[in-house]
C-alpha cells in the first residue's frame, strides 16, 4: 500500500505527496533551522517521526474523502516511548504530539485530556499503525545529548526552540505542496545585512555632514561613533544609556548592523513597547537607501493595503520572522517566547541575532523575572546579542541576598557609552521644578498655571478623565487633547497636527496628554508639566522639553501632584517623591540616580510581584512543565476587564458597512486602527442603551453607532460624562 501525507482535491493519487517525501523534507528543514543552536539531530528525528500516524489506513481513506476522525499526531510519540529512555521520550512526545495542538502541560490537573501525560498512557494503541512504517524510518539512532543542556541551558526553553523548528518546517513543506504560489513568494530574496551596512554608513555620514552645527548634534555624532566602535566587541549583554534626544534610534542600528556583520548574526530585531514608536522607527529605517524592503513591521496596526509598510511577501514573513530587520512589539516578542502554538514558529529565527530592547525601562514588572530570564537564555545559548536601550536603565543584573533574590538577572552588562554620566550632564536641556512643593492641587490650578506660562506647554497626566477635564479648561483654539480614548488613527492624525502647529505657529499651543507621548514621540516643547509618577516616567516626559536644545536657556519641566491619583501610580510616585527633594534635583536624571531608584523600586515590589503569574515555576522542575498554562498566563496586557469597540472615526463606518461584501480578515485588520478598549461595564451600558451594536455575523464585535459619544476633540466620552457636545457630532 502507498501512503500519502497530503492530497489535492480532484487530482489523481500520483500527484499526492508521498509520506516518505514529506517526512524527509520536514526533517531536513527542521534540522537546518536548529543547527544554529545545536539541536539539529533532535529536530531531524522529530521531523521524521512527526506524522507517523498517517500510516494508519483510516487516515489514507480520509485523504480519499471519507469522513473519519483520525488522530495522527500520537504514533510518533508512542514510537519514541518504545525506543528511548523516559526523559528523552517525553521530549519527543511533547514535540510530536503537540505539532498540531500545541505544547501541552504534562499533568492533567489544569488542562485535562489535553495534557501530555494522558496521551502517553497507552502507547500500544499505535502498534498496528507503526507496523506500516518502513524500517529505515523507524530504526533511527538516538540523538546525542544536546550541548546546550550540558552547558546549563534551560530544558523547557530548549524544548520550545525545538518545537519552533518542527512547527515551521511542517508548515513550510505542507505549504510548498498545497500552495506553490504562496511558497514561491517566500523565496523572494531579502538583502543581506552585509549589503545594508555600506548603504547605512553612507547615509549616516551624509546626515552628520549636513546636520546643523549645534551642541546636541555634536553629541549625537559622538554617540554614533561610540556605537560603531563598541560593535567590534565580542557578543555580550549590552546597554546603550543615552538621554532622550541623543540619537539612540539610528545609533543603536549602527551598532546592531556593524556587530551583526562582524560576528555573523543573521538578523536585527527591534523590540519596542508601543505601536506608535514602531511605526515611527520603521519609517526612519525605510528612509535609508536599500532598506525599503528589508524592514518588517509586525504589529496589529499595519493595514493590508499599505504596500509601503506591508506586502504579500512581508505578510508571510510575519509568520516566522524571515526578514533581515524586524520591528515588533514587546507584547509580540515576549508572548511568542512563552507561547505554545503557532506564535512559536518564529522563535528559531531569533537565534543568532542582535535584539534591541528599546525603552528597556518599560519591561513590565509583573513579568520581569521570566522576561529577563528569556533574554539571558537567548544570549547564553542561542547566539543572541541583546542591547538594553534607554535613557533610564533599569537594574537587571543578578541579585541574590537574604532579603531580595533576582536570580534571573544578567551576570554582567556591558555599557556602550564610555561615560553615561558625563553624556547626561552634557545633554542637560531642562531644569526640574516642584509645583506647590508637591502638595496636591486642583485641575483648575494647573490650568491657570499653564496659561501663565505664556508659551507652548505639554502637560502629561495619569488619568484619561484628568486629560479631558484639563483640556476643557484651556482655550479650545489653542488646545489639543490626546489620550487612548482616541483610536490609533485619530491619535496619529492628532500628532501630525501637533508637529505642524509647533513648527508654524507663534501663538502658545497647549497639548494635554496621557503618558502615551512619553516614549518615542519626538515632541519638543519649551515647558512640560508632568503629574507625579515613577521617576522614569518623569525623565521620559522631560525628554519632550527643549529636545533639540535650541532654547537660549534651559527648558522647564514642572512636576505636580493632582488631587486624584490612580492606584497603579501611587507606589512608584511615592518613591519618586524621595528623589525630587530640592537638594537632589541637580542630579535627578544621572544614571546613578536611576540605578538607585530601580533597586528600591524592585525591592519595594518584592520577588513575587516580579513574576506575578508564577511563570517560572510553571516552566521549571523535573520535566513536568506546564507549557499551555504558562502561555495562557503570560499576557503582558491584561484585557480581561476591557472589550474592544470600533469607533465612528475616519473610514471606520464605511469599512464596517463593507464587512459583508469584502475579505473580512483584511477589513478587520484595517479596523484595528479605529478600535479602542473600554471597561466591560461601560460596554454593557452602551449596548443596553442602544449606543453600540453587534455586527451581523461577527459575534462579540461591536461598533459605536453614536457620533455624539465620539468626537474629533476628545475621542470617546461615556454617556454619563457627556456635559458638552462637539458641534460636528450633532450634524445629521
> Domains in the chain and their CATH numbers?
4-186 (1.10.3210), 193-422 (3.40.50.300), 429-588 (3.40.50.300), 642-730 (no CATH)
Q: By mean pLDDT, which of 369-378, 513-522, 559-568 is the weakest?
A: 513-522
- Tell me the pLDDT band of 21, cut-offs 50, 70 and 90: very high
| C-alpha–C-alpha distance, residues 13 and 61, integer Å | 12
pLDDT in tens, 273-303: 877 678 778 888 999 999 988 988 886 554 4
User: Which pLDDT belongs to residue 3?
Assistant: 96
Contacts of 424 (CB under 8 A, 6+ apart): 243, 589, 590, 591
Check residue 376 and give its pLDDT. 97
Looking at per-residue pLDDT, the higher value among 98 and 181 belongs to 98
| Distance in angstroms (rounded) separating the CA atoms of residues 637 and 331 | 8
What are 222-280's pLDDT values in tens digits? Answer: 999 999 999 999 999 999 999 988 999 999 999 999 999 999 999 999 999 877 678 77
State yes or no: pLDDT of 198 exceeds 70: yes
pLDDT in tens, 658-668: 876 555 667 77
pLDDT beyond 80 at 500: yes
% of the chain at pLDDT higher than 90: 76
Q: 412 in the Ramachandran plot: left (φ > 0), alpha (ψ -120 to 50) or beta?
A: beta
Residue 481 has pLDDT above 70, yes or no: yes
Region 48-67: mean pLDDT is 95
- In order of 280, 479, 523, the CA distances from 496 in angstroms are 12, 14, 10
Helices (H), 672-720: 680-688
> Which pLDDT does position 311 carry in this prediction?
62
Q: Which of 501, 547, 500 is nearest to 521 (CA)?
A: 547
Q: Pick left, alpha or beta for residue 50 (phi over 0 → left; psi -120 to 50 → alpha; otherwise beta).
A: alpha
Q: Which pLDDT band holds residue 601 (cuts at 50, 70, 90)?
A: very high
Q: What is the per-residue pLDDT across 697-724, written as a single tens digit (0 to 9) for each? A: 778 889 999 889 999 999 999 888 765 4
Q: What is the pLDDT of residue 725?
A: 44
Higher pLDDT, 718 or 557: 557
Q: What is the DSSP letter of 281?
A: H
Q: Alpha-carbon distance 645 to 325, whole Å?
A: 32
**Mean pLDDT (whole number) for 548-566:** 93
Residue 441 and residue 560 in contact, taking contact as beta carbons nearer than 8 Å = yes
Average the pLDDT over 409-422 and give the result: 95
How big is the CA angle at 710 (ends 696 and 658), to the nearest 5 degrees? 30
Tell me how far apart the alpha carbons of residues 298 and 513 are, in angstroms, rounded to a whole number: 26
- In this prediction, residue 280 carries a pLDDT of 79
| pLDDT mean over 165-185 | 91
At residue 644, φ and ψ (nearest 5 deg) are: -80, 140
DSSP letter (8 states) at residue 357: E
Amino acid at each position: 500500500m502507498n501512503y500519502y501525507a497530503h492530497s489535492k482535491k480532484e487530482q489523481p493519487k500520483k500527484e499526492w505527496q508521498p509520506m516518505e517525501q514529506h517526512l524527509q523534507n520536514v526533517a531536513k528543514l527542521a534540522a537546518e533551522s536548529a543547527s544554529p543552536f545545536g539541536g539539529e539531530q533532535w529536530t531531524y528525528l522529530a521531523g521524521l517521526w512527526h506524522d507517523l500516524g498517517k500510516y494508519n489506513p483510516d487516515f489514507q481513506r480520509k485523504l480519499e474523502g471519507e469522513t473519519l476522525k483520525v488522530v495522527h499526531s500520537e504514533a510518533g510519540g508512542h514510537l519514541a516511548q518504545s525506543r528511548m529512555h523516559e526523559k528523552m521520550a517525553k521530549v519527543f512526545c511533547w514535540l510530536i504530539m503537540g505539532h498540531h495542538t500545541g505544547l501541552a502541560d504534562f499533568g492533567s490537573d489544569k488542562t485535562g485530556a489535553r495534557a501530555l501525560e494522558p496521551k502517553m498512557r497507552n502507547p500500544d494503541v499505535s502498534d498496528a499503525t507503526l507496523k506500516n512504517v518502513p524500517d529505515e524510518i523507524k530504526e533511527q539512532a538516538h540523538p546525542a545529548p544536546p550541548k546546550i543542556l550540558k552547558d546549563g541551558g534551560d530544558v523547557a526553553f530548549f524544548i520550545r526552540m525545538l518545537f519552533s523548528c518542527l512547527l515551521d518546517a511542517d508548515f513550510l513543506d505542507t505549504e510548498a505542496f498545497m500552495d506553490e504560489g504562496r511558497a514561491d513568494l517566500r523565496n523572494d530574496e531579502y538583502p543581506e545585512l552585509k549589503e545594508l551596512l555600506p548603504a547605512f554608513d553612507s547615509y549616516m555620514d551624509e546626515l552628520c555632514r549636513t546636520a546643523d552645527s549645534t551642541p546636541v548634534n555634536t553629541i549625537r555624532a559622538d554617540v554614533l561613533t561610540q556605537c560603531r566602535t563598541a560593535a567590534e566587541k565580542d557578543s555580550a549583554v549590552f546597554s546603550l544609556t543615552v538621554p532622550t534626544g541623543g540619537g539612540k534610534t539610528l545609533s543603536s542600528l549602527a551598532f546592531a548592523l556593524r556587530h551583526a556583520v562582524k560576528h555573523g548574526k543573521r538578523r536585527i530585531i527591534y523590540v519596542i513597547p508601543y505601536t506608535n514608536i514602531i511605526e515611527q522607527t520603521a519609517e526612519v529605517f525605510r528612509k535609508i537607501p536599500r532598506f525599503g524592503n528589508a524592514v518588517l513591521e509586525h504589529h496589529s496596526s499595519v493595514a493590508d493595503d499599505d504596500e509601503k509598510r506591508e506586502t504579500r511577501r512581508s505578510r508571510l514573513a510575519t509568520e516566522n520572522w524571515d526578514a533581515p530587520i524586524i520591528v515588533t512589539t514587546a507584547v509580540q516578542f515576549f508572548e511568542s517566547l512563552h507561547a505554545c502554538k503557532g506564535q512559536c514558529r518564529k522563535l528559531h529565527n531569533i537565534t543568532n541575532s542582535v535584539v534591541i530592547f528599546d525603552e528597556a525601562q518599560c519591561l513590565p514588572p509583573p513579568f520581569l523575572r521570566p522576561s529577563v530570564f528569556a533574554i539571558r537564555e537567548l544570549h547564553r545559548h542561542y547566539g543572541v546579542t541583546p542591547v538594553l536601550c534607554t535613557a533610564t536603565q533599569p537594574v537587571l543584573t543578578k541579585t541574590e541576598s537574604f532579603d531580595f533574590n533576582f536570580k534571573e538577572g544578567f551576570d554582567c552588562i556591558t555599557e556602550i557609552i564610555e561615560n553615561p554620566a558625563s553624556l547626561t550632564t552634557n545633554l542637560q536641556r531642562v531644569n526640574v521644578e516642584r509645583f506647590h512643593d508637591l502638595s496636591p492641587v486642583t485641575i483648575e490650578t494647573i490650568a491657570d498655571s499653564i496659561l501663565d506660562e505664556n508659551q507652548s506647554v505639554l502637560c502629561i497626566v495619569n488619568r484619561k478623565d484628568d486629560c479631558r477635564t484639563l483640556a476643557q479648561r484651556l482655550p479650545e483654539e489653542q488646545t489639543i487633547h490626546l489620550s487612548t480614548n482616541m483610536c490609533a488613527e485619530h491619535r496619529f492624525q492628532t500628532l501630525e497636527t501637533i508637529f505642524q502647529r509647533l513648527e508654524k505657529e507663534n501663538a502658545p499651543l497647549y497639548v494635554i496628554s496621557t503618558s502615551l507621548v512619553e516614549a518615542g514621540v519626538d515632541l519638543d516643547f519649551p515647558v512640560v508639566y508632568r503629574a507625579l509618577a515613577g521617576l522614569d516616567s518623569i525623565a521620559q516626559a522631560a525628554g519632550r522639553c527643549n529636545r533639540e536644545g535650541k532654547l537660549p536657556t534651559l527648558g522647564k519641566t514642572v512636576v505636580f501632584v493632582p488631587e486624584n491619583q490612580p492606584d497603579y501610580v501611587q507606589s512608584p510616585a511615592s518613591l519618586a517623591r524621595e528623589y525630587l527633594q530640592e537638594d537632589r534635583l541637580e542630579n535627578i536624571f544621572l544614571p546613578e540616580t536611576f540605578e538607585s531608584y530601580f533597586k528600591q523600586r524592585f525591592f519595594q515590589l518584592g520577588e513575587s510581584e516580579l513574576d506575578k503569574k508564577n511563570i517560572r515555576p510553571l516552566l521549571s522542575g523535573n520535566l513536568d512543565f506546564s507549557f499551555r498554562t504558562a502561555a495562557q498566563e503570560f499576557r503582558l496586557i491584561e484585557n480581561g476587564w476591557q472589550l474592544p469597540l470600533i469607533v465612528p472615526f475616519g473610514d471606520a463606518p464605511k469599512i464596517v458597512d463593507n464587512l459583508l461584501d469584502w475579505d473580512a480578515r483584511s477589513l478587520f485588520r484595517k479596523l484595528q486602527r479605529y478600535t479602542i478598549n473600554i471597561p466591560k461595564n461601560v460596554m454593557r451600558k452602551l449596548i443596553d442603551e442602544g449606543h453600540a451594536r453587534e455586527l451581523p455575523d461577527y459575534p462579540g464585535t461591536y461598533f459605536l453607532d453614536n457620533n455624539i459619544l465620539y468626537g474629533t476633540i476628545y475621542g470617546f466620552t461615556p454617556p454619563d460624562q457627556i456635559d458638552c457636545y462637539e458641534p460636528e457630532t450633532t450634524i445629521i
